[in-house]
Chain A
Amino acid sequence: MDETPTRRMGFFTDTSVCIGCKACEVACKEWNDVPDDGFVFRATSYDNTGALGADTWRHVAFIEQDGRWLMSSDVCKHCTNAACLDVCPTGALFRTEFDTVVVQSDICNGCGYCVPACPYGVIDRRERDGRAWKCTMCYDRLRGGLEPACAKACPTTSIQFGPLDELRERAQERVERLHAEGRTDARLYGESPDDGVGGTGAFFLLLDEPETYGLPPDPVVTTRDLGEMWRWAGVAAFGLAGAVAACFLRRS
């Protein structure tokens, strides 16, 4: 493995320029070969995919308010302190050289521990194969120096990808500018390293309270003692070694 340390990469989703087109949802699925999420008319404004899940890794929320129609593309937060990763007993979830959090589908055994661990309700098991799935921030693309599919497609640059420190600076400037224009509702969500998950690798500019968008106002990582967790997880996983090894052999 030739991992070269890089800067932490992330998403800044600026909902003040989101037009709700859902290009991000489709570009994500096309690149990552994510299955459709069913064909259900939800009568919830223009949202028919409902929420992030195993089969929807970018999700555009539509919030109808009096005279205002808010749109926001949600995604895995790639937390600094990621509980999903902490609880994963198989090592399927790992932190990449870009400081993103990725599930390795070839290792995931579908135990599902990660699902309740996520304070945002992002990671989810797919019924068809039992494994856990979520946004990888297009890890394969990143390894080739490409930006994630959603950010590339986004027509209005509502989704921006880049080194997290740069994005945080840019976001701060954007909020200040919106405030100067009188849009005092504008606020950042997830950009602070002091929050309950140590800040997120994917953060947002919102125009209303996080709850309005279905985001938890004060997310807290569900795990703390990481070293302890890991010894535990390793032992637990060892018990599965035989079964998984057989699986490897069969696939190769």
Chain B
Amino acid sequence: MAECHPVGYQWVMEARQRGAKVFHIDPRFSRTSATVDRYLQIRAGSDLVLTGALINYVLSNELDFREYVLAYTNAATIVSEDFRDTEDLDGLFSGYDPETGRYDTASWAYEGDTGQTDEMSEGDQRHAEAAGSDSYGARGAGSTATPPQDPTLSHPRCVYQILRRHFARYTPERVAELCGIAPEQFAELAEAITANSGRERTTAWVYSVGWTQHSVGVQYIRSAAILQLLLGNMGRPGGGIMALRGHASIQGSTDIPTLFNLLPGYISMPHAHRHDGLDDYLKREGGDTGWWGNRRAYMVSLLKAWWGDSATEDNDFRFDYLPRLTGDHGHYATVMGQIDGTVKGYFVVGENPAVGSANGKAQRLGLANLDWLVVRDLMVIETASFWKDAPELETGELSTEEIGTEVFFMPAASHVEKDGTFTNTQRLLQWREKAVDPPDDCRSDLWFYYHLGKRIRQRLGAGQVDPTDRPLMELTWDYPEEGEHRDPSAAAVLREIGGVDAEGRPLGSLRELKPDGSTSCGCWIYCGVYADDVNQAARRKPRGEQGPVAPEWGWAWPANRRILYNRASADPEGRPWSERKKYVYWDAEAGRWTGPDVPDFEEDKPPSYRPPEGAKAQDAIAGTDPFIMQSDGKGWLYVPSGLADGPLPAHYEPHESPIRNTMYGRQSNPARRTVDRPENPYNPALSPRFPYVFTTSRVTEHHTAGAMSRTLPYLAELQPAAFCEVSPELAEQVGLENGGWATVVTSRTAIELRVLVTNRVRSLRLGDTTVHQIVMPYHWGYGGGGLVTGDVVNDLSPVVLDPNVYIQESKAGTCDVLPGRRPRGAALRALIERYRDG
């Protein structure tokens, strides 16, 4: 956090000075490690052994916050008798199909929930390919508002007992053996987090999104969620799980997704084999209890925002205008489509996959096989210039004269040359005022897409409109234009996103959204961002003039709520758990929820509320159920549906690991997605040719793939070379010199890096084996207008994906390390071939 989010880290430093104890767990000793109370070095890819052991510590010592756990989680819920755990099947959950490598999740359901599961299971395999956990898990598919429960937690099939059995093998000894963390270090951590949780205190978990870049990435975060729920740290001040995201609006680009499987507000893109009409889609998209029960209103309002008057009840609000998914259409599938020639045209907008994505060579081979490519950026990044400077030109795998890709480089406006909102990592929308006009041909992406859309519509609207073009011709695309460049008004776009009623007046909150087409809203979770016809994201009441929650600075989704699920900050009766941790609570006299934040509950729903039979949506959520997006209102310790690789986290080794998985008879995540193609060869697991573990990282001085940092003198001079960090032991073993060069080899390629020999990296003793880890920041590239250049670290990484969200495993792999610089040209290819052939 100190390394990549230094200004956010001021709050951690301040908390420390006020007595907070901070632990840092990371394969790499970073600036964060240097400034905390305890640093625990962990082997990259072994995190679940540690979090599992913490869960086991809580459960076996009964240190859970029992009142919270009983009332607010699904600990008491009873699971289907068909369910089999990894304990029963040596590392597999029930439902695994070895042929496809996929799970049928039916047996993971709650007892009595088979009806919904059957409904889900049609097309389930295909759907699992097209959708991640966020697209249907959380909305309660396969679950009802009132599954059977055992409040004594003694039923052998209740979630609590399943958890106890599942995590029993996660012991401090396993932590020592697989993570390299000594038992006394583990004990200190376990004691600290449990002592610091409960009525009076809360513990926060913070991760940076490297945690997602594993073939078990989703389950890493699940394990933190289980721990935080058991300790009662969710929905409470000072608690929670904080994802520190790395780009200014990466949260916004998930909320209003440029992601294949989602529509704005985490609504699923429809799937050809699952969904027919709108009714069918809505029925199959999950249960109808909890706030997702209103999804017809969310979806219809979106369709109205896009197709306006053309969208009517009679035509399903133009639901058929949405294109259909049939599988994984994610980033890496797209790249393989480029190599195969199915993807012809590609827009790359403020991203640099030739440097930033795993297996850079595959990325560049894809780019080289396009008909046309449009790159929009501040700099001529490697993704734009690959045809004249890609490393494959030197090795002879590509030749400029044979690359047919037509490339348009379109210079972008910077953040001060356009107005608009970023959504930060806390879901906070902040409006930026435009300071100056962009220079020369530079334009905002808003300008580009608006005017591109206009031009396309002009071309298609010239004669008789083809039926396939109607979605474009009927699209609402009439934003006010401003200034000499005729920029579309960003405020008008935000107003559309925030939603309006039938008269065009901005909506105040998402509760006003209607399923009948009388409201339109471009993103239901952002509904209200333009309440009272005021740009709420532009609010800037100084911090000194409001309390620490600062509700009048910007606007947080949903409903300007700063802590999600804050109903959990009060006990079941609605009283604060303690005076010290008072936040949102029930004011019985006024008959309302109150506190410094917007209550995550209907203001007047009393704690005593119990849903009547057959209640829908939020009416089905009891006054004691804080997790209002879930169909049962509970925090899910056990996930009955929605995940592709199991209802509980289990430790599997990375796809490329030098260590045998001693937890189970399964080496790696059985449901992980591999891309078995010649462009993407893998290092065999346990291979002596690739004995070292590598992990990639960032450093403070640079930003992601480097276009916004290695091009600036003031940042480039601070970290002017691609480098690797190695321990003195490894340096001696391999023959590396501080300040010299190292060549790092995987089955994909070999790259050269400057060497930093440091005691901060330690070789890990795991039982009788020693594992050497090598750390590589990934910010450099071969061109891109960089004042400093270097080999592309991500060229080393394989494409192997988490099965829920298709994120690549780039934070834990294996490699070999050689002293000196890498071979050039054909000799480089020969070296890699020798490694591959063994």
Contact = CB atoms under 8 A, between A and B. Distances in A.
Interface in A19-77: 19-23, 25-26, 29-30, 35-43, 45-46, 48-49, 64, 66-71
Contact of B2 (A19, A43, A48): A19
Nearest to A39: B720
A53 to B, nearest CB: 12
Interface stretch (B277-285, B404-412, B751-759): B751-759
Contacts of B33: 69
A237 to B, nearest CB: 35
A19 B31 contact: yes
A41 B723 contact: yes
A113 to B, nearest CB: 29
B13 A36 contact: no
A21 B754 CA distance: 21
A26 B714 contact: yes
B715 A26 contact: yes
A57 B290 CA distance: 58
A155 B755 contact: no
Given A41-B720, A41-B739, A46-B719, A23 B6 contact: yes
Given A17-B13, A43-B738, A43-B756, A68 B34 contact: yes
A39 B712 CA distance: 11
Interface residues of A, number: 33
A139 B9 CA distance: 29
A105 interface: no
A22 B700 contact: yes
Chain A, interface SS category = loop
Contacts, number: 87
Contacts of B714: 25-26, 29-30, 36
Given A19-B35, A21-B700, A36-B714, A43 B719 contact: no
Contacts of A41: 720-721, 723, 739, 754
Contact of B31 (A21, A37, A48): A21
A69 B10 contact: no
Contact of A40 (B10, B31, B720): B720
B787 interface: yes
Contacts of B7: 155
Interface residues of B, number: 36
Given A21-B31, A41-B723, A41-B739, A69 B715 contact: no
Q: Among B713, B718, B739, find the residue whose CB has the most chain A CB atoms closer than 10 A.
A: B718
Interface string A65-109: 011111100000000000000000000000000000000000000
Nearest to B737: A43
A36 B755 CA distance: 23
Contacts of B713: 35-36
A230 to B, nearest CB: 38
Nearest to B762: A67
A156 interface: yes
B723 A21 contact: no
Interface in B19-37: 29, 31-35
A20 B754 contact: no
B774 to A, nearest CB: 16
Given A20-B34, A48-B720, A39 B754 contact: no
Nearest to B2: A19
B714 to A, nearest CB: 5
B365 interface: no
Nearest to B14: A156
Given A19-B2, A41-B739, A36 B717 contact: yes
B700 A69 contact: no
B698 to A, nearest CB: 12
A32 B33 CA distance: 32
B701 interface: yes
Nearest to B699: A46
A126 to B, nearest CB: 15
Contact of B6 (A25, A64, A155): A155
Contact of B13 (A45, A46, A68, A156): A156
A69 B720 contact: no
A227 B755 CA distance: 53
A66 B758 CA distance: 10
A19 B9 contact: yes
Contacts of A71: 31, 34
Contact of B10 (A20, A70, A156): A156
B716 interface: yes
**Which 9 pairs of residues, A with B, have the shortest CB-CB distance?**
A43-B739, A41-B721, A36-B713, A69-B34, A39-B720, A21-B6, A19-B2, A155-B6, A155-B7
Interface of A: 17, 19-23, 25-26, 29-30, 35-43, 45-46, 48-49, 64, 66-71, 155-157
21 contacts: A17-B13, A19-B35, A21-B6, A21-B700, A22-B700, A26-B715, A30-B714, A36-B714, A36-B717, A39-B788, A41-B739, A45-B758, A46-B699, A46-B719, A48-B717, A64-B758, A68-B34, A69-B31, A70-B34, A156-B10, A156-B13
